[in-house]
Amino acid sequence: MGRYSAWEIIKQGLTGNKGWERAWRDPEPKARYDAIVVGGGGHGLATAYYLAKEHGIRNVAVLEKGWLGGGNAGRNTTIVRSNYMIPGNTEFYEFSLKIWENLSQDLNYNVMMSQRGQIVLFHSPAGRDAAARRLNIMRLNGIDGELLDREQVMKMVPHLDYSENARFHILGAAYQPRAGTARHDAVNWGFARAADQLGVDIIQNCEVTGFLHDATGAAIGVQTTRGEIRAGKIGVAVAGHSNRVAQMAGVGRLPIEAHALQAFVSEAVKPHLDYVIAFGGIGHFYISQSDKGGMVYGGDLDMYNNYAQRGMLPVVHDVHECVMQVMPSLGRARLLRSWGGIMDMSMDGSPIIDKSPVEGLYLNCGWCYGGFKATPASGFCFAHLIAKDEPHPAGAGLRLDRFRHGAMIDEKGAGATAWHH
Amino acid sequence: MLRIPCPYCGVRDQSEFDYGGDATVNYPALDASEQEWFEAVYLRDDPKGPHTELWRHARGCRMWIIVERNTVTHEITGARPANPAHAEVLKRDFELETT
Ligand SMILES: Cc1cc2nc3c(=O)[nH]c(=O)nc-3n(C[C@H](O)[C@H](O)[C@H](O)COP(=O)(O)OP(=O)(O)OC[C@H]3O[C@@H](n4cnc5c(N)ncnc54)[C@H](O)[C@@H]3O)c2cc1C
């Protein structure tokens, strides 16, 4: 399989585009691999890629029960940012953003990373204080961020509702210029193709239904809908199904619940929004415009345990109230599509990349509604953990036992939200 | 839209209710071990299928209820008062029919 290049496009164009090869193979599963990654979302694919690229472990399989990107990796609203302020998260998400900045070149696949900047509005003096504090912490950690006043926001995004009687009065915003969006499908396909080129077997329609253990209890393989597969090491990156798979594997229950998050896309309109706009606190809302012109947006979880990949009307209602409060100019745009994905909501809202109590089994979960931006760093750190049996420094704070010790990474600062998610 | 059969008020839209999470969690005694508290506060079965869960009819009678709901199909197969003693008192003093 060749590299993608401008020259290749011209050559293929002149020969009727008949010479393009499939982007990755469709191999039969082997009886044994050095490592298996369960889950062919962005995180699983990135993990396999970095196992092969960084650690030379190429006899690897990614086992996906459906099709690549059929989970959250292909359902998210594609926002990439690193405006986190609690140790554990801060360094991890900035590490991720740095990988994003070169990801297209590294994968030889255009992931359409667009650093258009994210503007997080605040609507109260307390919101301003919180934004200033977050930005200060980010800057102390070498992350870009600026506090914008109302006039600056008005200049950058003139068509929000700045009227005096606006329900969400806009006082200013926290701005991260290096944040933006990337194309989610391209990220999955790019990692899949690059991993495949390094020898990784990507096996779709292969659901893991059980685990094989040796006499000491260590995990030595999996049962799947396509037969038994043995492996030296097994990484689990199944997002919304983390608790299900962990219990199946003998790890026991996780501090995680499955919840649905919805996304919405409007009909295509002319260029209307140059930035990602978001706000939280009062309401919860984020919006950007895709390259095709659709407004892509979302809000809160459906807020009850949920394994159905579609949402319910109360959240549809809430989210569109937010649209109308902040961007009334979209009032007559038609909603084209909406869908849901199953989030692995951890009890503190932060992720877990760690060894499990079962020897040979590694966990990558708890991504909540923010794991797309984490995709490259998650794969990088998880591959490091699997290959070396010790955490990568950038992901070393994301431990499973933090709940037991009360050392939560509680980004919202709201305390333990045990039954909230 | 879920339609939740509140045992006090009858069938109402989900938007009248707040969710209270897994109703099978038993909180241990205050002096129980750290392990027991850790399990009660943080660990969840998180089943894919039937789930016994708490809801509060916050924009209605404000009572906590226990609902049996399937987390895949959303089918609701039962709802009962979370506090049966409370329900008994209401029934006796106000002749409220609870199911
Ligand atoms: C609507 C929505 C909007 C979002 N918006 C954003 C955003 O703007 N920014 C952001 O950073 N994040 C966002 N997220 C979160 C982000 O998409 C997820 O955190 C991230 O994609 C999770 O990692 P993943 O890609 O590996 O998950 P997934 O793509 O869900 O991968 C998990 C895979 O495991 C497979 N699997 C499950 N069980 C088994 C089994 N037994 N055997 C084999 N395979 C199995 C599933 O089929 C699935 O393909 C959003 C999510 C949703 C749903």
- ipTM score of complex: 0.92
Tokens matching residue A185: 């499908």
Protein residue closest via CA to atom 20 of ligand 1:
A371
Which residues does residue A257 pair with via DSSP β-bridges, in sequence order?
A345
Partner residue facing A314 (CB), from B15, B45, B73:
B15
Q: What is the pLDDT of residue B96?
A: 64
Tokens matching residue B43: 């660990």
d(CA B69, CA A308): 12
Give me Rg for the CA atoms of chain B: 15
Q: Where are the beta strands (DSSP E) in A170-218?
A: 172-176, 180-181, 201-203, 208-213
Is there an atom of ligand 1 within 6 Å of A79 CB? yes
Is there an atom of ligand 1 within 6 Å of A188 CB? no
CB contact under 8 A, A307 and B38: no
Partner residue facing A257 (CB), from B38, B46, B74:
B46
CA dihedral B11, B15, B16, B17 (to 10 degrees): 90
Residue type, A390: E
Protein residue closest via CA to atom 4 of ligand 1:
A76
Cβ distance A335 to A264 under 8 Å?
yes
Nearest chain A residue (CA) to B51 = A305
Is there an atom of ligand 1 within 6 Å of A371 CB? yes
Cβ distance B63 to B86 under 8 Å?
yes
pLDDT band at residue B98 using 50, 70 and 90 as cut-offs: low
Is there an atom of ligand 1 within 6 Å of A342 CB? no
Nearest chain A residue (CA) to B42 = A255
Q: What are phi and psi of A63, to 5 degrees?
A: -105, 120
d(CA B70, CA A330): 36
Which residues does residue B66 pair with via DSSP β-bridges, in sequence order?
B54, B80
d(CA A40, CA A58): 16
Tokens matching residue B90: 């209401």
Q: What is the pLDDT of residue A421?
A: 46
Cβ distance A297 to A383 under 8 Å?
no
Only one residue has tokens 């040796």, namely A214
Please state the domain count of chain B: 1
- Tens digit of pLDDT at every position of chain A (421 positions): 689 999 999 999 999 999 999 999 999 999 999 999 999 999 999 999 999 999 999 999 999 999 999 999 999 999 999 999 999 999 999 999 999 999 999 999 999 999 999 999 999 999 999 999 999 999 999 999 999 999 999 999 999 999 988 988 999 999 999 999 999 999 999 999 999 999 999 999 999 999 999 999 999 999 999 999 999 999 999 999 999 999 999 999 999 999 999 999 999 999 999 999 999 877 899 999 999 999 999 999 999 999 998 899 999 999 999 999 999 999 999 999 999 999 999 999 999 999 999 999 999 999 999 999 999 999 999 999 999 999 999 999 999 999 999 888 988 765 545 445 4
Nearest chain B residue (CA) to A304 = B19
Measure in Å the smallest separation between the Cα of B36 and chain A Cα atoms: 10
Chain CA centroid to CA B53, Å: 5
Cβ distance A74 to A344 under 8 Å?
no
Partner residue facing B41 (CB), from A247, A254, A418:
A418
Q: Three-state SS for A14?
A: helix
CB contact under 8 A, B41 and A308: no
d(CA B5, CA A248): 33
Nearest chain B residue (CA) to A344 = B46
Q: What is the pLDDT of residue B97?
A: 63
Q: Which residues of A touch B51 (CB under 8 A)?
A: 305
CATH number where B85 lies? 3.30.2270.10
For residue B85, give its domain range: 3-98
How many A-B residue pairs are in contact by the CB < 8 A criterion?
73
The number of the ligand 1 atom at minimal distance from the alpha carbon of A69 is: 29
The number of the ligand 1 atom at minimal distance from the alpha carbon of A368 is: 19
Give me Rg for the CA atoms of chain A: 22
Residue type, B19: Y
To test the contact with chain A by mutation, choose from B4, B46, B68 the residue with the greatest count of A C-beta atoms within 10 A, namely: B46
Identify the burial level of A376 via C-beta atoms within 10 angstroms of its C-beta, where 0-12 means exposed, 13-18 middle and 19 or more buried: buried
Only one residue has tokens 């305390």, namely A415
Q: Which residues of A touch B42 (CB under 8 A)?
A: 255, 347, 403-404, 416, 418
CA dihedral A371, A377, A382, A383 (to 10 degrees): 140
Cβ distance A205 to A66 under 8 Å?
yes
Partner residue facing A403 (CB), from B15, B21, B42:
B42
Q: Is B46 on the interface with A (CB under 8 A)?
A: yes
d(CA A183, CA A251): 34
The number of the ligand 1 atom at minimal distance from the alpha carbon of A67 is: 49
CA dihedral A170, A171, A175, A180 (to 10 degrees): 0
d(CA A418, CA B54): 13
Q: Give per-residue burial for A165-174: e unless 16+ CB within 10 Å, then b.
A: eeebbbbbbb
d(CA A352, CA A396): 10
Q: Give per-residue burial for B45-61: e unless 16+ CB within 10 Å, then b.
A: bbbbeebebbbbbeebb
B38-93: per-residue pLDDT in tens? 999 999 999 999 999 999 999 999 999 999 999 999 999 999 999 988 888 888 87
Domains assigned to chain A: 25-82+85-108+184-254+348-420 (3.50.50.60), 118-179+258-345 (3.30.9.10)
Only one residue has tokens 């003139």, namely A158
The number of the ligand 1 atom at minimal distance from the alpha carbon of A339 is: 1
